[in-house]
Chains A and B, each alone.
Chain A
């Protein structure tokens, strides 16, 4: 009897805990939005965060974009060739990059490159009581530290995703046209006929904005919420990468279902 009660208590505690955490996360997110005005007035704070989240992620994004595009070119050619339609390679590479791979893979890379850095930085700031010190000086840490990081990362994400897609298409072009010898005119003209600016490109950009908000909100919250110990910060960093990767993939499914149904 006691064992049953204990296990029920365990379930109840876990449910209450997770709901409580969700509530805290939501309030934290609303607080970021409320304090955003102040950080936009001091725009150089945001610019510094765009540098650390966006510019420093450029190398990994550009190189992976190029290689993903090149692999798509090779694999797509292999498959399309069996149907004698290798001219459709451009369509395959462009649509898969612009609609899916660009936003999703760029966001996954961004979560592990910039998201983890944000969590570690804020977690460490909390562990070394820098945030508490700010509060002592009547500086709101959410306005001074958290909100600029949020907007810096949210602004960077669509730019990185667009660069990823563009590099990927160039990679597909390099492999398909320059290396294998698919007809250049057909490659570009079929691509242009199939890719719609509003339906495909803008929806891809919209996806990456949503992913940017999700990844950054998760990273900031995990950092802000981390237990102020070495172990706590390391676990928070791990959780950031895992949670935001799962969130990206789940959100991608939902967004795709709404955006591209029946097109």
Chain B
């Protein structure tokens, strides 16, 4: 085969491969959004994180403003310490509160960030004071059953 046609085909092949990787990066993956943006990290402690995982989204008013970067266990307080990576475009007051929510009944868990009223803004390395851990479904069901069983005798009394 002619050298020129060979080069042409290989050129087309390599360009198609690069296009495929770009397609995977930009259309399929989330490279275009957020990951490349500059971030600042704040800490938060939760009494229970439920099924929260690293890289879970942090949402404020439903908009993704950051991601969970690290989850650890604080053995002095016996609490979970979570590092939140927030986009520098979004500033939050120092007294903002974080709570762990579930999207849908069985969906993934995320951290909901609610803005507070203070003038000062959160900075790199700050800690969130107001936090609320995950609601554990089993505890909820247990509580519900407990309440029901307390009610039950009253319901049968009038008979």
Contact = CB atoms under 8 A, between A and B. Distances in A.
Contacts of B121: none
A160 B10 CA distance: 12
Contacts of B20: 159, 162-163, 165-166
Nearest to B35: A197
Main SS at interface, chain B: helix
Interface string A180-202: 00000000100111011110110
- The residue among A94, A166, A200 with the most chain B CB atoms within 10 A of its own CB is A166
Contacts of B57: 193
B146 interface: no
A192 B17 contact: no
Interface residues of A, number: 30
A197 B17 contact: no
Contacts of A162: 17, 20-21, 24
B24 A47 contact: no
B153 to A, nearest CB: 39
B7 interface: yes
A58 interface: yes
Interface string B1-44: 10100110110111011011101110111110101000000000
Given A51-B6, A158-B17, A165 B30 contact: no
Contact of B55 (A55, A94, A169, A196): A196
B64 to A, nearest CB: 9
Interface string A45-86: 001101100110010000000000000000000000000000
Interface string A144-166: 00000000000010111011011
Contact of A50 (B10, B24, B31): B10
Contacts of B23: 166
Interface string B103-114: 000000000000
A44 interface: yes
Interface in A2-19: none
A193 B30 contact: yes
Contacts of A50: 10, 13-14
A159 B24 contact: no
Nearest to A98: B24
A25 B27 CA distance: 42
A255 B3 CA distance: 38
A87 to B, nearest CB: 11
Contact of A163 (B17, B25, B33): B17
Nearest to B31: A197
A163 B28 CA distance: 13
- The residue among B7, B19, B23 with the most chain A CB atoms within 10 A of its own CB is B23
A47 B10 contact: yes
- The residue among B3, B27, B57 with the most chain A CB atoms within 10 A of its own CB is B27
- The residue among A94, A158, A160, A197 with the most chain B CB atoms within 10 A of its own CB is A197
Interface in B111-157: none
A197 B30 contact: yes
A104 interface: no
Given A44-B3, A50-B10, A201-B25, A159 B30 contact: no
Top-9 shortest CB links A-B = A159-B17, A197-B31, A166-B20, A162-B20, A197-B29, A195-B29, A163-B20, A162-B21, A55-B13
